[in-house]
Amino acid sequence: MNFTEHRYTSKDGLSLYYREYGQGDEVIICLPGLTRNSKDFHDLATRLSGKYRILCLDLRGRGQSDHDPKWRHYHPGTYVRDTWKLLDELGINQFIIIGTSLGGLMAMIMSSQQAERIKAIVMNDIGPEIDPVGYARILSYAGIKANVNNWHDAVARCKLISEQAAPGMPQEFWDKFARNTYRENNDGIPELDMDANIGEAIRKGAKTVRLLTKIRKTGILKRVAGVFIDPWDSFRTMTMPTLVLRGNISDILSDDIVDRMAAVKPDMQRALIPNRGHAPLLDEPESLAAIDSFLENLTRE
Domains contained in the chain, CATH given: 4-131+227-300 (3.40.50.1820)
Whole-model pTM: value is 0.94
The partner residues of 213 in beta bridges, in order of sequence, read none
pLDDT in tens, 136-163: 888 777 767 778 999 999 999 999 999 9
Does the pLDDT of residue 246 top 90, yes or no? yes
The fraction of the chain above a pLDDT of 70, given in percent, is 93
In this prediction, residue 97 carries a pLDDT of 98
> How far apart are alpha carbons 145 and 166 in whole angstroms?
22
Does the pLDDT of residue 226 top 60, yes or no? yes
pLDDT in tens, 60-82: 999 999 999 999 999 999 999 99
Mean pLDDT of 28-45: 97
Mean pLDDT of 194-210: 77
3-state DSSP assignment of residue 25:
coil
- Whether residue 198 contacts residue 61, with contact meaning beta carbons closer than 8 Å, is answered with yes
In this prediction, residue 233 carries a pLDDT of 94
- Whether residue 93 contacts residue 116, with contact meaning beta carbons closer than 8 Å, is answered with no
In this prediction, residue 45 carries a pLDDT of 98
In this prediction, residue 99 carries a pLDDT of 98
> How many Cα atoms occupy the beta-carbon half-sphere of 195 within 13 Å?
21
Mean pLDDT of 247-262: 97
First to last CA, the chain: 34
